[in-house]
Chain A
């Protein structure tokens, strides 16, 4: 038996919009601690990890760990039918092949029930070790989205390098090159507009912009984004969900040929 009541229903709508472009089908895992998801894109280059902690729900009941295979596009279709102020309740019975989304209008005068078929999804679960990152950049999420969008009109890949001066995003394409530098800036009126760079070691990594752009679909979830970088590790792009959890995107870097040759192969 599973029953999760989320007063801020729009949050779930935003979460789906954030991840459905990257992943088609995924298993939602529910345990007593929270509602989570881990899934890779079909090419196994990017991974999304979602966590909504149980405390964030008004009512949270999960008798035993349950995994629900869901087609995210279909789920998004159903959630689109919920109003932005609606309260969303997710319900599923043990042994059932469906999940029910219930939408209640704030005035309680309209209640909608949407039942969705579940799927059996064979997915690989990756263990993500806790790592110390060489550099952590926190910046306004809209700024990051703008940078990714702008650069992708010039080139396919972005080099993100963090030095003492700041964080530099650069790209190169057939028509020319582009460099955008963001300096540390903490003297702003609102804390969410600050750019904070926490660097232990300079790093420089190359990523495919296509994936970065799809991560920025999570921008409505949070005013700020945190980008954690280490040489030879996937980048983590994190959008915090207020008081509830996060959506984290991991992206494998592009690797120089020579480096790859020396690395032990999988």
Chain B
């Protein structure tokens, strides 16, 4: 590490998760940053390899995002590798008319990091209070409404006791970042300042309350969860109150949200398609029950308890498939090789995923979309928080116009999915070759598929010629 400047590292850390880096440095040094950031240091594993320029290959490098690790470790990758059919990329626009539960805390956090920030400066009102979250919430919600979606925001309540440890860790990380920040301020390293100041971000009660007030004025329903917001979102989705849950936190799947969306709240400028996960397909493709999937998530590493050192997603999946439950794994596992944490509270974690504290009572859940309160919005945003009055007035017009758009019906509300006679055959062999990097390509080359009435046995007979084709296909793609 000493021969790499911290600026280079900072550049790396600003990247997205999997960025392809051809080569860094002038001559032949290739930097491979591997291993997710688990410890407090940003890059826990760095490996360097020297190779001739002709052999330089694109390398996949997971890069630590400047935000606390949340949710299930490595689940996206695990699903991309083992259950690619469970994820589908859809256009943002295709969600019009859908009711969607959004994990508000996660969004506010994103807004605080991204919206109107430069260095340690953030958007503020006259009193010097930060307004990035309001700006973000206001504009992104309007974007959803304009696309004809009906968002419901769900706010976090009291965290479960088990999560406190994780929260304490995050707190200490923030404290560390605050120290790093003051150091960076002294040396006036701009990139470091930005990096560390982002890490000091915390969503406070005040931020939440501001956002709740804003959303109510906009006529967008708000649900205050008794405990975890993701759990409440999942419960709304299970009860059919909403079509899907939008969050960046993979926990939502573990809580059993039938449909889970990622990147819905990303800024439009990023042009990232929405990634839709279907829990039923996840289970089908992994060939697990929901209980086993929850165990898999706990083993992979969740917010509620430590994971076993040396067991990552892939190993966890193998163990669950082999033994079925964590109990059986613990009985059969090599205890010399794997250190099981003392008093490991996996059962408690499991209970939190299976029976989280949520509101299910119809009366308490007041989910209604109404017209915006124009005067209220102007008072709150323009007078109290220094927003530009013209822009707020225009935005209110947009909200009103958007209401008209949400009236277009969807075919699915009239016709139900039917057993398709022409279900494409699962051809994992070809898929593996085709999708080495991208998790969900909608369209792939394929062969003529016999359908309907053909038993898997028949498919088996066909698999050899297809395999050959697969290698040919490889060249096309």
Asked whether, in the complex, the Cβ of B448 is within 8 Å of the Cβ of A93, the reply is yes
Contact across chains for B411 and A47 when beta carbons are under 8 A apart: yes
Give CA–CA (A265, B446) in the complex, Å: 36
Q: Which of chain A's residues has its CB closest to B240's CB?
A: A265
Q: Are B407 and A99 in contact (CB under 8 A)?
A: no
By the criterion CB–CB under 8 Å, are B412 and A254 in contact? no
B445: chain A residues at CB < 8 Å are 97, 117-120
* Residues 53 to 91 of chain A near chain B (Cβ within 8 Å): 64-69, 71
A66–B462 CA distance with the chains assembled, in angstroms: 13
Does A52 reach chain B (CB closer than 8 Å)? no
The chain B residue sitting closest to A128, CB to CB, is: B415
From B34-42, B85-93, B290-298, the one touching the partner chain is: B85-93
Instruction: Give the CA-CA distance A94 to B469 in the complex, in Å.
Output: 12
Q: Which residues of A contact B20 (CB under 8 A)?
A: none
Given contacts A27-B422, A127-B417, A127-B418, contact A118 B407 (CB under 8 A): no
A69–B424 Cα distance when bound, in Å, is: 9
Chain A residues touching B, range: 35 or more
User: In whole angstroms, what is the CA distance A50 to B285 when docked?
Assistant: 31
Are A96 and B443 in touch, CB under 8 angstroms? no
Any B CB within 8 A of the CB of A174: no
Say if the beta carbon of B94 comes within 8 Å of chain A. Answer: yes
Given contacts A43-B96, A44-B94, contact A255 B417 (CB under 8 A): no
- Nearest-Cβ distance from residue A232 to partner chain B, whole angstroms: 8
* CB-based contact B443/A120 at 8 Å: yes
B120 contacts chain A at the CB level, 8 A cutoff: no
Fill in one digit per residue for B416-451: 1 if any A CB lies within 8 Å of its CB, else 0. 111111101001000000000000001111111111
Does residue A175 face the partner (Cβ distance < 8 Å to B)?
no
Is residue B153 contacting chain A, with contact meaning CB distance below 8 A? no
Is B424 within 8 A of A65, CB to CB? no
Given the complex, which residues of B lie within 8 Å of A124, measured CB to CB? 417, 420
Bound CA span A261–B472, Å:
52
Cβ of B454 under 8 Å from chain A: yes
Contacts of B242 in A (CB 8 A): 265
When A97-B469, A126-B416 are in contact, do A92 and B409 touch as well, CB less than 8 Å? no
The interface residues of chain A lying within 8 Å CB-to-CB of B96 are: 43
Partner of A265, one of B99, B453, B469: B99
Indicate whether A253 sits within 8 Å of B421 (C-beta atoms), given known contacts A25-B443, A64-B453, A265-B240. Answer: no
- Whether the pair B408, A254 counts as a contact (CB closer than 8 A) is yes
CA distance A253 to B410 in the complex (A): 8
B403 near A: Cβ within 8 Å? yes
CA distance A31 to B453 in the complex (A): 11
For B414, the closest partner residue in chain A by CB is A234
Complex alpha-carbon distance, A5 and B398, angstroms: 54
Closest to A97 in B: B447
Report the separation of the CA atoms of residues A189 and B94 in the bound assembly, to the nearest whole angstrom. 46
Contact B462 A94 (CB under 8 A): yes
User: Does A23 have its Cβ within 8 Å of any Cβ on chain B?
Assistant: no
**CB of A125 within 8 A of chain B?**
yes
B456 within 8 A of A: no
Q: Is B411 touching A126 in the complex (CB atoms < 8 A)?
A: yes
Q: Quick one: closest B residue to A251, CB to CB? A: B411
Which residues does A use to contact B, with CB under 8 Å? 2, 25, 27, 29, 31, 40, 42-47, 64-69, 71, 92-97, 99, 117-129, 208, 233-234, 250, 252-257, 260-261, 263-266
List 8 extra interface pairs beyond A27-B424, A43-B96, CB under 8 A: A65-B421, A65-B453, A117-B476, A120-B446, A129-B415, A234-B415, A254-B408, A257-B403
Q: Give me 17 A-to-B residue pairs in the complex whose CB atoms sit less than 8 angstroms apart, sorted by A's number.
A: A40-B411, A44-B410, A47-B411, A64-B451, A66-B451, A99-B448, A119-B444, A120-B427, A252-B411, A252-B414, A253-B409, A254-B409, A256-B407, A265-B99, A265-B240, A265-B242, A266-B413
